[in-house]
Amino acid sequence: MIKINISKTLQGSSGDMSLRVKLDIKEQDFLAISGKSGSGKTTLLRILAGLEDSNGEIEISGISWKDFPVQKRNIGFVFQDYALFENMSVEKNLLFVNDDKKLAKHLLELTQLTSLAKRLPNKLSGGQKQRVALCRAFMKRPKLLLLDEPLSALDPLMRAKLQDDILKLHKEFKTTTIMVSHDPSEIYKLSNRLVVLEDGKIIKDGCAKDILLQTQGSQKFSLKGEILDIVKADIIFIAVVAIGQQIVEIVLDEDESKSFKIGQSVHVSTKAFAPNITA
């Protein structure tokens, strides 16, 4: 069991904010943390890693980590910007952490990086770099793996591949993993528990499906979007709404067209029919 009960005062852009988090996490859980920027997600990870100090207690399998410096904590940390050691080859990046050639070879094989072992980081693509960073994080066989928005800089295809890798390694090494993420599909696919932070406090805690599913009552589906434009077409009005990466048109009557503004955040839902799904 991992017991976290910490507090820290943060200087945010809108004044001081107090970060207070109490969490019990079962070992080998995959916990996702989401929330608006500035809600304290990254700081929480950094406190767990020992990169920032805090008040309170962190206990891992009955051992207090409070007084352990970052070097003594058995963790892996994956940064959003990869943070590879630029002067070392892929292989050396791994061996610098722990001189275990067998483990390094195994990790590189698992993530299909073996052919790139001798390359320097500046000769790798973003996805390759992040796979190296992921392997590097496992070289200490960490008890706790911390991922700070690891895939947010990558394209969707690369994300899917990395998500598989993360899940594979999480299971094989039996780590407890905490990942900061904004991507609902990623959270749904990887985690078995989701915590939502707002202004330094936990406002939601549960399984990803319960928290992420946006429908209410008898709604068949409900999608969150933003109104880009409202145009008049003969006697009706059409709202152009951006939903994720897609743009759709929704028909409005005159009253509705007046009640919405361009730039407004809205939910697009339907209950009258079952949506068709095609490949």
Partner 1 sequence: MIFGLDLEPFLLSFKLAGITTFILFLIALPFSWWLSQTKSRYKPLLEAITSLPIVLPPSVIGFYVLFALSYNSPIGAFFEETFGISLVFNFTGLVIASCFYSFPFMVQPLQSGFESLNKNMIEASFVAGKTKLQTLYFVALPNIKPALLSALIITFAHTVGEFGVVLMVGGSISGETKVASVAIYEMVEIMDYEMAHIYSAIMLTLSFVTLLGVYTFNHKYKKRIGI
Using CB under 8 A as the criterion, which residues of the chain lie in contact with partner 1 when the complex forms? 49, 51, 70-72, 75-77, 79, 81, 83-87, 96-98, 122, 133, 136, 139-140
Residue at 56: amino acid letter? G
Nearer to partner 1, 51 or 238 (CB): 51
Nearer to partner 1, 98 or 269 (CB): 98
* Rounded least distance, CB 122 to partner 1, Å: 6
Nearer to partner 1, 51 or 167 (CB): 51
* Rounded least distance, CB 69 to partner 1, Å: 8
* Rounded least distance, CB 83 to partner 1, Å: 4
Nearer to partner 1, 103 or 208 (CB): 103
Nearest to 30, CA basis, from 177, 215, 156, 134: 177
The pairing of beta strand 15-25 with beta strand 63-64: unpaired
Structure tokens at 254: 């005159």
What's phi and psi for 113, nearest 5 deg?
Answer: -115, 0
Q: Where are the beta strands (DSSP E) in 114-172?
A: 144-148
* Rounded least distance, CB 120 to partner 1, Å: 8
Q: Are 204 and 194 in contact (CB under 8 A)?
A: yes
Residue at 173: amino acid letter? F
* Rounded least distance, CB 80 to partner 1, Å: 8
* Rounded least distance, CB 4 to partner 1, Å: 18
Nearest to 211, CA basis, from 7, 32, 24, 28: 32
Nearer to partner 1, 75 or 252 (CB): 75
How far is Cα 151 from Cα 163, in angstroms, rounded to an integer? 8
Q: How far is C-alpha 106 from the geometric centre of its chain's CA atoms?
A: 26
Nearer to partner 1, 77 or 237 (CB): 77
What's phi and psi for 198, nearest 5 deg?
Answer: -145, 130
